[in-house]
């Protein structure tokens, strides 16, 4: 996270003190860097400059309207997985013709709404879904643009919970069945075949799974072409990893360069990518306050006001996320190997295990790389209000982009019998 740095013993985000943000907005607090998101998006755009392309941000990574609006103004498309995400993207100013709709359980209402606004494409994940889309399109007098999401049975070599490209995963249509399903799609009067889609997982740190999946997709494309099914775009998904600790994932430019080299013989095909994590993960951080320190035998706890309800990744995936103290460590500081734990009544409510820290009550800690799958997976478990979110506009200006929930917000919509 290159916008975090220590100056005069205190941690800054660009030139803005972390302590200033915590004092003004309270904790826990999510903070995002607009310049970082812009830089990451431009990395994809520049790498794809010589090809017809569309970079569709995966809304599930971080769905705040300001994040979506920022990307929409940059010309991004959007990859959505629900009507809620569709409505968010539209509210943020997205062009519906740049929206692709993924997800395994699209409802009738969701399909109707997507057809009504005129999205670019449905990424179809089962034969049953294909028939449902066709029937709805026929009923309302529309032609539905589709691609089939192909499950290439490629091991993404990532956490099993975020692997999506193996045969046993619920996502997509088996590579072995894909050709047959395309022929069925071609016979449907209210379906227009546009593309092929493939997304094999998240937090990928090697190029080989991307390249293997692309090879399989191109074999399928050639078979379809020989049978008069012409593909207009290939959607190569997202999933490019980021550095949380010491990972060395390829850059967007390296990824694109390698993949485009395989597509030299397909110059007229539009290329789609669906990055999420690689655009926003290292744009975000979570500021939390130490409520207590607790020492018993050889166990040391920094008990903070952020919990697994605010940031579930460590509990759900055993994700490692860097923890930085707001006060710059000094060589003379007395440190302990702390477990950084939250207020939730679950033993799994641990944000970080065994971190060498020198902290005391009321100190601030920063959980790094929290811009993706942080707030978007937050909940009100244990009846905790969700945090505020702030955007760093530049190295001096910051703005609230979501107000902290109030206690009244917790029971909004509930009824006392």
Catalytic sites, residue numbers:
345
The answer to whether residue 145 scores a pLDDT higher than 60 is yes
% of the chain exceeding 70 in pLDDT = 96
* Residue 167 pLDDT: 52
Q: What is the pLDDT of residue 172?
A: 82
Q: Given this model, what pLDDT does residue 184 score? A: 96
Q: How far apart are CA 178 and CA 220, in angstroms?
A: 8
From the list 348, 334, 152, 162, the residue with the least C-alpha distance to 235 is: 152
What pLDDT, on a 0 to 100 scale, did the predictor assign at position 164?
45
pLDDT tens string 6-26: 999 999 999 999 999 999 999
The answer to whether 372 touches 67, Cβ cutoff 8 Å, is no
- Answer whether residue 161 shows pLDDT above 50: no
Query: Is cis: bond before 28, omega within 30 of 0?
Result: yes
- Mean pLDDT value across the chain: 93
Residues 6+ apart with CB under 8 A from 7: none
- Give the domains, in start order, of the chain with CATH numbers: 4-32+281-410 (2.40.37.10), 34-278 (3.20.20.10)
Q: Do residues 401 and 65 make contact, with C-beta atoms less than 8 angstroms apart?
A: yes
Q: How far apart are CA 124 and CA 107, in angstroms?
A: 12
* Tokens 């939250």 sit on residue: 342
């Amino acid at each position: 996270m290159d916008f975090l740095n220590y100056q005069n013993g205190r941690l800054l985000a660009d030139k803005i003190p972390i302590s200033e943000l915590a004092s003004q907005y309270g904790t826990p607090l999510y903070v995002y860097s607009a310049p970082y998101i812009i830089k990451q998006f431009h990395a994809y755009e520049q790498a794809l400059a010589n090809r017809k392309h569309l970079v569709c941000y995966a809304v599930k990574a971080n769905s705040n309207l300001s994040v979506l609006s920022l990307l929409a103004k940059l010309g991004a498309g959007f990859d959505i997985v629900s009507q809620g995400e569709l409505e968010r993207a539209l509210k943020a100013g997205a062009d519906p013709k740049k929206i692709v709709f993924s997800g395994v359980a699209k409802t009738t209402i969701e399909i109707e709404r997507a057809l009504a606004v005129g999205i670019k494409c449905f990424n179809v994940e089962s034969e049953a879904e294909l028939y449902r889309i066709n029937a709805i399109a026929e009923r309302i007098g529309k032609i539905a643009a589709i691609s089939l999401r192909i499950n290439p049975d490629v091991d993404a070599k990532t956490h099993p919970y975020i692997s999506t490209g193996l045969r046993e995963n619920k996502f997509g249509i088996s590579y072995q069945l894909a050709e047959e399903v395309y022929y069925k799609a071609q016979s449907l009067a209210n379906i227009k075949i546009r593309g092929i889609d493939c997304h094999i997982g998240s937090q990928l740190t090697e190029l080989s799974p991307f390249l293997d999946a692309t090879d399989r997709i191109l074999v399928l494309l050639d078979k379809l072409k020989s049978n008069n099914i012409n593909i207009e775009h290939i959607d190569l998904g997202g999933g490019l990893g980021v550095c949380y600790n010491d990972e060395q994932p390829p850059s967007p430019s390296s990824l694109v360069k390698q993949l485009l080299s395989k597509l030299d013989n397909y110059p007229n095909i539009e290329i789609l990518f669906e990055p999420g994590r690689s655009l926003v993960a290292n744009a975000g951080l979570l500021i939390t306050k130490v409520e207590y320190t607790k020492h018993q035998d050889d166990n040391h706890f920094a008990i903070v006001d952020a919990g697994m309800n605010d940031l579930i990744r460590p509990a759900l995936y055993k994700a490692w996320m860097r923890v930085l103290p707001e006060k710059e460590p000094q060589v003379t500081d007395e440190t302990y190997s702390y477990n950084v734990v939250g207020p939730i009544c679950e033993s799994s409510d641990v944000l970080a295990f065994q971190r060498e820290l020198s902290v005391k009550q009321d100190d601030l800690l920063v959980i790094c790389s929290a811009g993706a799958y942080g707030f978007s997976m937050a909940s009100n478990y244990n009846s905790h209000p969700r945090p505020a979110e702030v955007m760093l506009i530049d190295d001096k200006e910051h703005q609230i982009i979501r107000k902290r929930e109030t206690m009244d917000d917790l029971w909004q919509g509930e009824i006392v019998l």
